[in-house]
Structure formats: C-alpha cells, structure tokens
Amino acid sequence: MGVLFSHDKNDILIIMNKKIVISATILIGLIIAYWLISPLFINKEISEPLTDIAPTEEAQIISQGKFIGLDFHNAEGTVKLLQIDKKIYIRFEDDFKVTNGPDLFVHFGKNGDYSPHANLGELKGNIGAQNYEVPENINIEDFDEIWVWCRAFSVPFGKAELQK
C-alpha cells in the first residue's frame, strides 16, 4: 500500500509558520479594532473645578459658545474663553458632552476650519468640566471657534463658535 500523505520537515515548518503569521495578524487586527471602536462605547467623565485655574482671582469671560456635533458625532455644552490674571484658558463647563473616539484633541479654529497648529492638547474626557491653558504663542484674536478633532481619522467631532 502507498502512503497517502508525505510531508517532509520543511513542509511542516512552512505550514506552522503560516499559522503563526495568520494568528499574529488576527491578534494585531483585533487590538487595533478595539482601540478604534471601544471609545465609541466607553465614556470618560471628568470634573475639573474652576478653582483649579482660578483659586482666588475672578475669571473674566472673554467669549463663550455652545458645542454642536459634526460628521455624525454628537457634541453639546458650553465652552468659555477666560482670562485669569495674565493667562488665557479654555473651559468646558459641566454640561459638555461629545461622542467619544480615539485620539481626540482640542483645537482653535476660524470660519469653519480647525487649525492643526493651534492645538490645546488631548481631550481629557468626553463628558464634564475641563480646563485647558492657552499657550502664549497662540494669539486668541486669530480664532473664533473651539474644535474637538480626531487626529486618527482627521475628522471633526464638534465645534463651538465663540461669541463676545
């Protein structure tokens, strides 16, 4: 009788290596999918008090606005541009909410365009009050909007037009 299956050691190693590569690819794909999709279902609440940035001084409101959602994302709540002593801050109030997502950042914008160079930092949470110090190299007179921007997909999640 003849042998039905005949494999040498090289064939077995090739088959095992293919299985390892396929398993590793699937695992990496699942990790990336979790990183991209899970924020849509996980909320991060934050509640930074105004006293963190204005312990004794009175905060002067320079301008303020209300968030609206963009590109099928929800966004709502109040944002204020504040001057405290000689520093400028962006404050998202307690009513702030935005759809969570990967790689969200806070930016200034003007006339419907966000400015990639006027970055205030990573969004601290998608719900609740939070404070962002405006770097001295950003001239607030150059901007009239606050944006929540997803760097991973280059899409807006929300913006607020600032009114004086």
Residue 54 belongs to domain spanning: 50-161
Judge whether 153 lies within some domain: yes
Phi, psi angles (nearest 5°) of residue 109:
-155, 175
| Cα(101)–Cα(63) distance, integer angstroms | 27
Tens digit of each residue's pLDDT (9 = 90 or more) over 98-156: 999 889 999 999 999 999 999 999 999 999 999 999 999 999 999 999 999 999 899 99
- The answer to whether residues 59 and 28 belong to one domain is no
- The answer to whether residues 88 and 148 belong to one domain is yes
Write down the pLDDT at residue 14: 76
Judge whether 55 lies within some domain: yes
Judge whether 129 lies within some domain: yes
Tens digit of each residue's pLDDT (9 = 90 or more) over 47-76: 999 999 988 778 999 999 999 999 999 999
- The answer to whether residues 128 and 71 belong to one domain is yes
Judge whether 136 lies within some domain: yes
Contacts 24+ apart (CB under 8 A), 142-145: 142/108, 142/110, 142/118, 143/108, 143/109, 143/110, 143/115, 143/118, 144/109, 144/110, 144/111, 145/65, 145/108, 145/109, 145/110, 145/111, 145/112, 145/114
Judge whether 1 lies within some domain: no
Domain count, the chain: 2
Judge whether 143 lies within some domain: yes
Judge whether 3 lies within some domain: no
- The answer to whether residues 60 and 138 belong to one domain is yes
Locus of tokens 């991060």: 44
Is the pLDDT reported for residue 20 higher than 70? yes
